[in-house]
Amino acid sequence: MWAGILGAPVMWGCQHAFGIGVSDASCSVGSRGVRVPIDTWTGIATVVAGTLALAALAAAVLTFRAMRGVEEDGPPPEGRIYFLSICGMVVSPLFLLIILMSGIATQILPSCQQG
C-alpha cells in the first residue's frame, strides 16, 4: 500500500534532484573542460524513475484488487488500505506523466541556456 501511494512521488523527487545535479555539473564554469552528457544521464534517470513509478502503480492496483469487497467506510485497517490504494492509483499516473514530461523536455530543449 505504501509503495503504491509513495513510490511514484519519491521517484519523481529522485529524478528531479538527479537532474539538477547533472545540470549543475555540466553547466557550471568549473566543468568547462569536462563533458557531462546531460541527455544520456537524464534519459537513464527517466527510464529508471518511470519504470519504478509503473511498479508503484502496479502495487496500488494489486492492493486495490486484494481489498476487493471492502468499502472505504469498512473496518479500520481494511477500509484505510482500500482508500489509500485508490489514492495510489490516482497519484501514480500523475507523477508518471510528470516524470515523462521532465525527461522528454530535457531531451528536446537546449541545455545550459542562461536566461
Q: Show me where the domains of the chain are located.
A: 2-8+37-108
Quote the mean pLDDT of the chain.
88
For residue 94 the three cell numbers come to 500523475
Close Cβ partners of 98 (under 8 Å, ≥ 6 residues apart)? 12
Residue 29 to residue 31: CA distance in whole angstroms: 6
Could you tell me the three cell numbers for 36?
A: 557531462
pTM to 2 decimals? 0.84
Q: Which three cell numbers stand for residue 42?
A: 537524464
Q: Quote the pLDDT of residue 95.
A: 97
pLDDT exceeds cutoff 60 at 115:
no
pLDDT in tens, 4-46: 999 999 999 999 999 888 888 887 777 666 777 888 899 999 9
Question: Most distant CA pair in the chain: distance in Å?
Answer: 62
